[in-house]
Amino acid sequence: MKTERLYQKDVYLREALCEAAAVYRTPEEHAAAGIKFREGAMTVELDRTVFFPEGGGQPCDLGTIGGLRVLDVKEDKASGAVYHRVEAGELPEGPLLCVLDWQRRFDHMQMHCGEHIVSGLFRSVYGIENRGFHMGDDYMTIDMAPGEDSEVSEITDEIVRDIEMKANEAVWADLPVSTVYFDTREEANASPVRKKIKFDEDISVVFIGDREAPLDCCACCGTHVSGTGQIGLITILKGENYKGMLRLTMKAGRHAVKDALRDEQIMLRVCRRYSAEAPELEAKMDAAEAKNGLMRKELYDLKKDILASEAGKLLAAFASEPDRRFAVYEYPILSASDLQDLAHLVEKKAPGLAALVSGKSPDAVLVSSGDPACGQLVREYASMYKGKGGGNALQARAIFGSREDLALFLDLLEKHLRR
């Protein structure tokens, strides 16, 4: 049975009493109707509906039917029936109160209308065509490419920013938005449609602005606001190459405003951090990064000298006790990563096993000439004291949760090597 779509008559209708034409509960009932079964849910077919089913790149509406949550809404194109998947439960007798999640519906209306404005402007100003559209929870993507009659070969950032400004000018103009239903494609194509219509049933065309010279005119089954001023704001966030096209990510309406307010607060905090106004912020950040780069280079050179000096001391200690099988060396100011660099400078020269212990964390780096094998010692014994790590025969890192566990591990190594 074809479902009457109340949103086509009044897109602002938020609730309605509808009759259940059929309710499918079991896998067998779903299979007989050709509907996919979902565990923990049932499917309700209504005589009429306020819920927009998924289609045309737009997600479905959500809400409640008879107090039960709507999980998704889909259309059977062959029959025109709209199927509402709801959480499993008992429906009340008689007409069912269907209530929209209005915020979600209005978000979709703002976003979809914003997409029409952007796509229409790209086509009319630059001859660039919309080749694909997808709406997410709070964003949209549009795949754009120059048309055959376009005078541009590349969609530059300047073009994108020009369209973004023109789109917001269309919002400020508060142009009327209307949806017109046609019986035949010939009648529909007599309008200045952006793309010729090739189907013959359920033809709905959205006009933005004057019907005779619209900003956009395109076949669309989605939901839209009645005036562009209700969109509030349109932002194009980024463009990226996608299959030979430019995929634009954009926002419109409430989500665009929320992002703008958030970004404004971030900008204010960053400006305060750099003691700069917005126009000079980038220059201040570049100067700070250059200064930080010099400091990082100085730190790198200083650390390199310290490690070379410590390597010399360590090699001298090795030479003074050529028969020592195990020794622990403490480094209060060096991190475990620093000690790994130090181990590289002395590996293969240790007479036995040396444990380099960081003062910054309960970690140790084992280093040897390969006998004993450092990685094997860590793998065999570190886990006994809730430790972890790994490495190779010449050096390995052992990581512990406390200095007590590290001390027990080192004590075990000493007793093991004493044998």
List the domains of the chain with CATH numbers: 4-100 (2.40.30.130), 106-270 (3.30.980.10), 309-418 (3.10.310.40)
CB-facing half-sphere around the CA of 170: CA atoms within 13 A = 29
Residue 355 has pLDDT above 80, yes or no: yes
Residues 176-191 pLDDT 10s: 999 999 988 899 898 9
Token reading at 232: 């509030």
Percent of the chain residues past pLDDT 70, beyond the cut: 100
Mean pLDDT of 339-357: 93
pLDDT digit string, tens, across residues 244-281:
999 999 999 999 999 999 999 999 999 999 999 999 99
Question: How crowded is residue 167: how many other Cβ atoms within 10 Å of its Cβ?
Answer: 27
Helix (H) or strand (E) holding 219: strand 216-219
The residue type found at 281 is L
Q: Which of 55, 49, 41 is nearest to 21 (CA)?
A: 49
Secondary structure (3-state) at 380: helix
Query: Could you write out the DSSP letters of every residue in 248-269?
Result: EEEEETHHHHHHHHHHHHHHHH
Comparing CA positions, the residue from 237, 208, 247, 12 lying closest to residue 114 is 208
Q: What is the mean pLDDT of residues 390-411?
A: 95
Residue 350 scores a pLDDT above 90: no
Per the prediction, the chain carries an average pLDDT of: 94
What is the per-residue pLDDT across 66-78, written as a single tens digit (0 to 9) for each?
A: 999 999 999 998 8
The answer to whether the CB of 87 falls within 8 A of the CB of 41 is yes
Please give the helix or strand (H or E) that residue 326 lies within, else none. strand 326-331
Query: 4 with 28: CB under 8 angstroms?
Result: no
Q: State yes or no: pLDDT of 419 exceeds 70.
A: no
| Total Cβ atoms within 10 A of residue 404 | 11
Give the mean model confidence (pLDDT) for residues 348-365. 93
Two tokens, residue 345: 């400078």
> Which ranges of 223-335 would DSSP assign to H, the alpha helix?
254-274, 278-320
And the tokens for 149? 């009659």
Task: Give the model's confidence band at 323: pLDDT under 50 very low, under 70 low, under 90 confident, else very high.
Answer: confident
